[in-house]
Structure 1
Amino acid sequence: MNAAAEPSFLDSSDPLRDPALYFNRELSQLDFNFRVLAQAQDPQVPLLERLRYLCISCTNLDEFFEIRAGTLRHAQDLGFAPGPDGLSPATVLARIHERAAELVQAQYECWNRVLRPALWEAGVRVLGRDAWDEKQTRWLRDYFRDEIMPVLSPLGLDPAHPFPKILNKSLNIVVVLKGKDAFGREGHLAVVRAPRSLPRIIQIPEEVSGGAHDFVFLSAVLSAFVDDLFPGMQVKGAYQFRVTRNSELIVDEDEVENLALALRDELVGRGYLRAVRLEIAEQCPDEIVRTLLENFDLGENAVYRINGPVNLNRVIQVYDLVQRPELKFPPFQPRLLPGVEGMFERVAAGDVLLHHPFEAFTPVLELLKQAAEDPNVLAIKQTLYRTGKDSPIVDHLVQAARNGKDVTVVVELRARFDEEANLGLADRLQDAGVQVVYGVVGYKTHAKMLLIVRREGRQLRRYVHLGTGNYHSGTARVYTDFGLITADPDIGNDVHQIFQQLSGLAPAIKLKRLLQSPFTLHAGVLKRIDRETKHARAGKPARIIAKMNALNEPQVVRALYQASQAGVRIDLIVRGACTLRPGIPGVSENIRVRSIVGRFLEHHRVYWFANDGAPDLFCSSADWLERNLLRRIETGFPVLDPELARRVYDEALANYLADNCTAWALRADGSYERLAPQADEPPHSAQATLLSQICG
């Protein structure tokens, strides 16, 4: 069915459906990267950390084009109707180009005018061609001939050699030639592709350069010595370029018998899907740009002229190569939960709350490790979305299966950009005897759940871990997330039923404690917002505080507007995209929205409702996005222990609402204003406070 013929959100006279009340999700997501870039521009942030933020903003922009822009072009082709903001896909794409061009300019100004000179002054030099002395040039030419040239395959363009297929985000040089080669062929254009095996950042030895931390971009070396690849011909110009392609895999799950096999086939061609962006050296002649655009089937609004290396994000390697503690954030030691040597006894005595990265991920690993070895453990069930390379989680699951436990793992093959890794993970688990399930057709399994069934005397007891983040030891050190470990019978039974539903063909289930999308989470959130609305209308105190990564679900936004109109005070802590427009008189004047950008990536989702003095608090794997609430398997789990619930409120809500150092306030016009301490208030950074209070 053509999407344009489907009922539109705008087909209503309801004033709360007015497109003027909604920001565009893609443009809002794009703006998040300006807040990330602001960290790179902040002199209060350690210098190498500023470099890292710059690279994060570049990598985020890459992914934005691969997924969001690529999806929009697909929507444009299919004639999709406008969303709640009233903007057509074509209009959004045009605005993306304008805003992204501003971001790219700001990124390269930050690099060229701020960070690169500051790094140079600190003894970390990224040398351009104009800065190479004679000794450095000789070494780099030798390096080019010995290490780079043997793996290059330059391609001259002529009728026998058409324009080559260019891999997504690969580094390439287009070369303008004059003269004839050995066969008498007239030179014109050639393309030099940099293989993935080549390092994008080259460190010059100290004995050559005189500096311990001197680096050169591969792109600069290729451009400088490209004439060696075309002997007897004159190189008139060499211009680096990079093309970004749509990376959203589309597998018609209803039409395939084997999802894993179909996904493997799709991955083969992912790097060569439709082009969505062309980055090209600033000085490249227009006729060359037109040739590239024609070959990539792109229009002028897809070109970004670059004043520097087209793969600027690769300078992140400098962060890892330079061991200068004074140029990085001070190290910290996460607090380790006492009693981890006996996790079952510890959890049986009371629920355990973990706040990462301030508290170690070790208890989760220990729980699984001990379950794998404990003869009383009969079964283990777990969801895996992202695990990281060489995951100890996977090691423990494999060991559990080898020890005769009944192990079932729901592996989400479609975890974006981790598809290939998860296919390998599934193979390894199956080889060890683990029952691997790929979830539910049409719904990504994004819930974070671990269930352990243990015999204790004459009874079976369920131990559960539920989290807001992935089972990934690496991200647990840099993402803020909550994890709850509990032996509560009701929660255990709920999780058991969800696993039964995922692995079998179970009917709809009724859960006692958990909310689950796509069934009860969306309705549960709306119900609780409506409850606060009714309390406000009855003259009772009413309050909503919610923290998440993104917000765009139209029904939730409308419900929040209605609550605001009724007098409910609403605070939203939304890291990235937010389509709700706060501060509109008569509609959202009671809603405040803030975004926190700090040392760690804000990732936990917490929903808190005042509930007339009996607060209702949930942690969740789900943002308030359409996909999470309606098209994914997600959970929202209550924190039942009053003391632990108070911790969640204090640490993730009240603490973040008090932040006046790393917080940005969203204004009614869509701009974000960075907050700063007022004259009568002390500075307060939410993450720094948690580091001090929890890590010590």
Structure 2
Amino acid sequence: MTNELKQPKYYVNRELSWLAFNDRVLEEARDTQNPLLERAKFLAITQKNMDEWFMVRVASLQQQVLVGHNNPDASGLLPNDQLSMISAAAREQIKNQYQVLNRSIIPALKKQGFELKHADNLADSQYAFLKRFFEEELLPILTPMAIDSTRPFPFLANDTLNIGVRLKHETDKSEKYTAVLQVPTTSGRVIALPEKNQVILVEEVVQIFLDAVFPGYDIKETTVFHILRDMELDVADDEDTPNILQEVQSKLQERERGRVIRVIVNTNTSKTLMSKIIKALDVSDERVYEVNGAIDLTFLSAWLKLIDAPYLEFSKFKGYESSELSPDNMFVSIKQQDYLLHHPYDTFKPVVTFIQTAACDDDVLAIKMVLYRVSGNSPIIRALADAAQRGKQVTVLVEIKARFDEENNVHWARELEQKGVHVVYGLRGLKVHAKMALVVRREDDAIVRYVHLATGNYNDVTANFYTDLGLLTRDSELGMDVSSIFNILTGYSDQEYFHQLHMSPNGIREFIYDKIDGEIANANAGKSAGIKMKFNSLSDEQMIRHLYKASQAGVPIELLVRGITMLKVNIPGVSDTITVHSIVGRFLEHSRIYSFNNDDNPEVYLSSADLMTRNLDRRVELLFPLKDTALRQRVLSIFQTMWQDNVKTRVLQSDGHFEKIDRRGLSTMNAQEIFIAESLSVQADVKRQEKSAQAQRKFEPINNPFLGGEA
């Protein structure tokens, strides 16, 4: 039966599944129930998502073709077949992006009084303003690069906008000339005009006044194009690599000159100019995409920053902040009980306060953390530096191979080292993706450990719009396990046993297999069985086969998957009992939950790991239990609320596409809005209690000796 379950017909192609996820994000840009500016943000997100997908996944497939790697994926497709198929699918998605832009977002913004101007509809005063702006701000930094026998096509950096130009000399009309210039970024992508709420794109300003850059020549044509390069970071962190930090820094420089992986150009570009650009960039026609509108939709993010219209956005929301986890109460509170934080409905501030309080506490002896992604102005980094300067033992593993955060993490690693922090750059051959912090404290002549474990990064910015779960605990067994893991990460340790934690490589995979097998055994014995899981992606074939086996045994399986899922549902005799939901909404679903019915005695685990081969086999990840009954029930309740969502949920169908739930006759259930309402309700209750306590203190009797007794 195992070999039967390996058949390609049982699997969805990974890249098509990813494109389907980005389509779900694009649906949010179309959805008129979302506020207008939020719809524009969703559209910009689809561009950012697709750019990263091209730079990594499409680049990887192209590299496989170049080196002759010809093994099929789980769905039976060879790399070259995948490239052809996803190129067509991506082309269709890009066309849909521009339909949303041109037919929906821009007209709706204009109707609200926010206009994107073009060269053909500028007022005289606007033209004069832009002429001055061009001469003062843009012309001094523009660098026209001629293309001829002595001046070959210039190097164009990754993720840049460029302008291709066809020219003729005023006196020699027979000779044709070509040039390229990079659109400057110093003034930003979107230029605000003097008239309120009117803007123009910087590349259009350059094109309007391009004559000034080429005096003596007639400009016959201009076109804007955007290029992406292969941005995979191939770091050789093996025995022959003496310094991983230097290797990453070196590879970052090399990466900027990677092969061009995609070109986006305006559909009005002539074949003559197009062919010159494409030939010079050495990119196949399959990787060239023509669009009807502004190149690179991330310009929307820059435009939205200039729009002050809160009535066109989601209402502002700040998560609940428990007074029990304030600096004065932090360690006392955690000593008494475990705390589960559900971000962003619970604010991220207690996590920051946990590290800040430890840094200042005289009884704290050591702090250890793993940092994968942090914000550009991280308060946690500052707290760790402060702790080191106060003489505490501070050890931080900074994963400098975190994709697209490599430069930021190299910067923070250097910064922390200068402050006296002991910095580790990761493990050879593995990325460290675990989310954990350990505080070692002296209490009553004993050493105790306080621990934070989480599903998400220590990033105080993204915590406002990523949903994640975190645990603050003083549990001694978890504390010992975390200490052991830090010994593995920073020293030489072959720890074979953990009390409560499970760690990949290998450990999480085998543990989840065992738990699935336990549910299979319960189902076969006629006992209550069931599996509930929430994660970002499901692409590990062996794990999918294990879930298929559970379904064949009759185990009900509910999967909440944000992004990729290579699993197919409703295959007779294979996946009849598996249901897959995907929620795409206001917040990015990022938490990972693994729950097993265990004959009506549910076990609940949280993890940093998705069910992807890289997470299970090539990364250091953690999976940890919720031992407290109340916290387990809270997470199961969170899962159930999300499972009942019928507004932002799409359900996976037999043919591999996701479909929204038909809400006719159903009460509206938007899980994220429910969690917001619950958080606001708790905050309102706390304020009422505080006011009541203040009023009681104000009017309670005062023992006044001058009145001869109680007042």
TM-score interval (norm. to shorter): over 0.9
> Structure 1 13/614 Cα, relative in aligned 2: closer, same or farther at 3 Å?
closer
- Deviation, 1:417, is 0.7
> In the alignment, which residue of structure 1 is the partner of 2:655?
669
> Is structure 2 residue 204 aligned with structure 1 residue 217?
no
Structure 1 residue corresponding to 2:139, chosen from 113, 134, 149: 149
- Structure 1 counterpart of 2:129, from 127, 131, 139: 139
Letter of the 1:513 partner, please give it: Q
CA distance in 1 between partners of 2:332 and 2:2 (Å): 58
Instruction: Give the deviation of 1:13 after TM superposition.
Output: 7.5
Query: Partners of 2:489 and 2:293 in 1: how far apart?
Result: 49
After TM superposition, the structure 1 = structure 2 runs for residues 40-59 of structure 1, keeping only pairs within 5 Å, are 40-59=29-48
Measured after TM superposition, the shift of residue 678 of structure 1 is 2.9
Tell me how far apart the structure 1 counterparts of residues 121 and 84 of structure 2 sit (CA, whole Å).
Answer: 39
- The Cα shift of 1:201 comes to 0.6
Structure 2 letter corresponding to 1:127: K
Q: Which moved more, 1:412-421 or 1:68-77?
A: 68-77
1:581 aligns with 2:571: no
Deviations 1:146-171 (A, max 9, x none): 21111101011111110000111101
SS of the equivalent of 1:502 reads: helix
Of 233, 242, 252, the match for 1:249: 233
Q: Decide which of 41, 47, 58 is 1:69's aligned counterpart.
A: 58
1:360-403 deviation per Cα after TM superposition (whole angstroms, max 9, x unaligned): 11111111111111111111100000011110000000000001
Decide whether the 8 Å contact of 1:187 with 1:233 is kept in 2.
Answer: no
Partner of 2:295: 310
Q: What residue in structure 1 maps to residue 709 of structure 2?
A: none
Letter paired with 1:67: V
User: Is residue 80 of structure 2 the alignment partner of residue 94 of structure 1?
Assistant: no
Contact 1:387 / 1:471 at 8 angstroms: preserved in 2?
yes
Q: Of 79, 85, 110, which residue of structure 1 is paired with 2:75? A: 85
Once residues 46 and 295 of structure 1 are traced to their aligned partners in structure 2, the CA distance between those partners, rounded to angstroms, is 43
Q: Report if the CA contact (8 A) 2:192-2:200 is conserved.
A: yes
Q: Distance in 2 between matches of 1:131 and 1:541?
A: 69
Q: Structure 1 residue runs of 4+, over 3 Å off? A: 184-187
2:168 match: 178
C-alpha distance in structure 1 between counterparts of 2:609 and 2:469, whole Å: 13
Deviation per residue, 1:474-516 (Å, 9 max, x gap): 0110100001000000100111100000001111431111111
Cross-structure match for 1:320: 305
Tell me the residue number matched to 1:113.
Answer: 103
**TM-aligned CA distance change 1:159 to 1:127, over 3 Å:** same
Q: Is the Cα–Cα contact under 8 Å of residues 529 and 600 in structure 2 kept in the other structure? A: no
Taking the aligned partners of 1:131 and 1:639, their CA distance within structure 2 comes to 61
The Cα of 1:185 is off from its aligned counterpart by: 11
Matches of 1:359 and 1:449, distance apart in 2: 18
Q: Partners in 1 of 2:458 and 2:25 — Cα distance?
A: 25
Matched, 1:568 2:548: no
Q: Which range is displaced more, 340-349 or 598-607? A: 340-349
Show the counterpart of 2:113. Answer: 123
Whole-angstrom CA distance in 2 between matches of 1:164 and 1:309:
23
Identity of aligned residues (%): 39
Query: Which SS does the other structure have where 1:82 is aligned?
Result: coil
Report the Cα offset of residue 290 of structure 1: 2.0
Asked whether the 8 Å contact 1:156–1:187 carries over to 2, the reply is: no
Matched position secondary structure for 1:120: helix
Q: Secondary structure at the match of 1:312?
A: coil
Shift of 1:195: 2.8
TM-score (norm 1): 0.96
- Deviations 1:31-65, CA, capped at 9 Å, x for gaps: 21111111111111000010000000011011110
Q: Is 1:532 the equivalent of 2:516?
A: no
Aligned pairs for 1:156-305 within 5 A: 156-179=146-169, 186-206=175-195, 212-254=196-238, 255-305=240-290
Q: Hey, what's the Cα distance between the residues in 2 that align with 1:180 and 1:378?
A: 77
Partner of 2:615: 628
Helix, strand or coil for the counterpart of 1:118?
helix
Equivalent residue, structure 2, for 1:6: none
2:209 aligns to what SS in structure 1?
helix
1:371 alignment partner, one of 353, 358, 377: 358
Q: May I ask how many residue pairs the two structures share in their alignment?
A: 677
Larger deviation: 379-388 or 504-513? 504-513
2:163/2:225 contact within 8 Å kept = yes
For 1:171 and 1:28, the matched residues in 2 are separated by: 29
Displacement, 1:437?
0.7
CA apart distance, 1:323:
1.4
* Secondary structure at the counterpart of residue 256 of structure 1: coil
CA contact (8 A) 2:2 2:545 kept: no
Question: Which amino acid is 2:119 matched to?
Answer: R
Tell me which amino acid in the other structure corresponds to 1:234: D
Q: Which amino acid in the other structure matches residue 185 of structure 2?
A: R
Question: CA–CA distance in 1 between the matches of 2:353 and 2:2?
Answer: 56
Inter-partner Cα distance in structure 2 for 1:458 and 1:423: 39
The answer to whether structure 1 residue 440 and structure 2 residue 432 are counterparts is: no
Q: 1:240 and 1:151 mapped to 2: Cα distance?
A: 18
SS where residue 537 of structure 2 aligns? coil
Match of 1:29 in 2: 18
Structure 1 range deviating more: 411-420 or 306-315:
306-315
> What do residues 92-121 of structure 1 show as CA deviations (whole Å, max 9, x unaligned)?
111111111111101111111111000000
CA drift at 1:142: 2.1
Q: TM-score scaled to structure 2, two decimals? A: 0.94
Output the CA distance in 2 between the equivalents of 1:123 and 1:349: 55
On the 8 A contact 1:30/1:64 being kept in 2, the answer is no
**Do the aligned residues in 2 keep the contact of 1:497 with 1:509 (CA within 8 Å)?**
no
Residue aligned with 1:171, SS? strand
Distance in 2 separating the partners of 1:503 and 1:221: 53
Closer/same/farther in 2, CA of residues 646 and 181 from structure 1, 3 Å limit? farther
Match of 2:704 in 1: none
CA contact (8 A) 2:603 2:632 kept: no
Residue deviations 1:288-347, cap 9 Å, x none? 222222222211111100111112212211222211110000011210012213210010
Contact 2:451 2:479 (8 Å CA) reproduced: yes
Aligned to 1:398: 385
1:599 aligns with 2:583: no
> Partner residue of 2:334?
347
**What are structure 1's unaligned runs of at least 5 residues?**
1-11, 207-211
Asked if structure 2 preserves the Cα contact closer than 8 Å seen for 1:180 and 1:186, the reply is: no
* 8 A Cα contact 1:556 1:624, kept in partner: yes
Asked if 1 retains the 8 angstrom alpha-carbon contact of 2:532 and 2:558, the reply is: yes
What is the CA RMSD across the aligned residues, in angstroms? 1.4
Q: Secondary structure at the match of 1:694?
A: helix
Where in structure 2 are the equivalents of 1:433-512 lying within 5 Å?
A: 433-512=420-499
CA contact (8 A) 2:65 2:80 kept: yes
The farther-off stretch of 133-142 and 106-115 is 133-142
Segment of structure 1 superposing worse, 122-131 or 599-608: 122-131
Worse overlay, 339-348 or 603-612: 339-348
**In the alignment, structure 1 residue 17 sits paired with structure 2 residue 6:** yes
Cα pair 1:359 1:695 within 8 Å, conserved: no
Task: State the Cα distance separating 1:217 from its structure 2 match.
Answer: 1.0
Q: Do the aligned partners of 2:164 and 2:277 also contact (CA within 8 Å) in 1?
A: no
Q: Secondary structure at the match of 1:235?
A: strand
- Corresponding residue SS for 2:411: helix
CA contact (8 A) 1:548 1:573 kept: yes
Q: Structure 2: where are the runs of 5+ without partners?
A: 682-711
